[in-house]
Amino acid sequence: MKSTTLIIPGLYGSGPGHWQSWMESRIDGAQRVVQRDWSVASIDAWSARVGDAIDGAIGAVWLVGHSFGCLAAVLALTQNADRANRVAGALLVAPANPERFGPRGLIGDNTTDRGRTGDLGDTITASIPHQRLGIPAVVVASANDPWMRLTAASVWSDRWSAQFECIGRAGHINVESGFGPWPAGLAMLERLQAAHGDQPLGNLSPVKAQPYMQISA
């Protein structure tokens, strides 16, 4: 069965040297989700683009997200119950902490939420799913990721009922921390695909959302 792998970059996109670009070139049926403005991480706009890509994809869909792209992916997935019937699984690498983002983008960024305090009312945290995603998923985290503490990444992985993989002190798992070609990452995706196949499992009985709890970056 033909499937589609959606590559979902984070803030500022993934350049030609990034592992997502490398992976895209090696996967048949891979497509990049292109945002209208890579410099402004608007969760509503970004998740809408991901949702449109899922809805328009051919066959079963695999999601490969990085950083803010992970947040856009999980929100898009849970905004429409039918998408759990389209998406076969997700590899979520170095998700960014939603507490660092406001509705208009990165808190403290000169072009978006400059000067905002980042309290509960300012962040997008409450809008990110706090329950299982309803699909097989793997969260890949780093012990020294500047965008999300390891403990916070573990909590989000548990909320989403995802498998949690810490790959050590790997920074933000991007070009700057040495992740251009990344055969180990591709192998993780292939193991996920081999374990679950290209047939989406449908909604895996999502549990009731847990009360909001702030997690430090």
For residue 217, the model assigns a pLDDT of 52
For residue 8, the model assigns a pLDDT of 98
Q: Residue 162: is its pLDDT beyond 60?
A: yes
Residue 173 in tokens: 């798992």
Q: Residue 114: is its pLDDT beyond 50?
A: no
- Give 122's pLDDT tier (boundaries 50, 70, 90): confident
For residue 1, the model assigns a pLDDT of 62
- Give 197's pLDDT tier (boundaries 50, 70, 90): confident
Positions of E strands within the chain: 3-8, 30-32, 60-66, 87-93, 101-102, 105-106, 137-141, 163-166
Q: Residue 212: is its pLDDT beyond 50?
A: no
Distance of CA 193 to the CA centre of its chain: 17
Q: Is 156 helix (H, G, I), strand (E, B) or coil?
A: helix
CA distances from 190 to 142, 170, 181, 197, 200 (A): 20, 21, 15, 10, 15
Inter-residue contact 96 to 128 (CB < 8 Å): no
Which range (12-26, 27-41, 167-181, 192-206) has the least confidence?
192-206
Q: What is the mean pLDDT of the chain?
A: 89
Question: Which residue from 173, 193, 169, 194 is spatially nearest to 22, judged by alpha carbons?
Answer: 173
Mean pLDDT to the nearest integer, 1-6? 89
User: In the chain, what are the domains?
Assistant: 3-196 (3.40.50.1820)
For residue 108, the model assigns a pLDDT of 81
Full-prediction pTM beyond 0.85? yes
Measured CA to CA, the distance from residue 6 to residue 135 in angstroms comes to 15
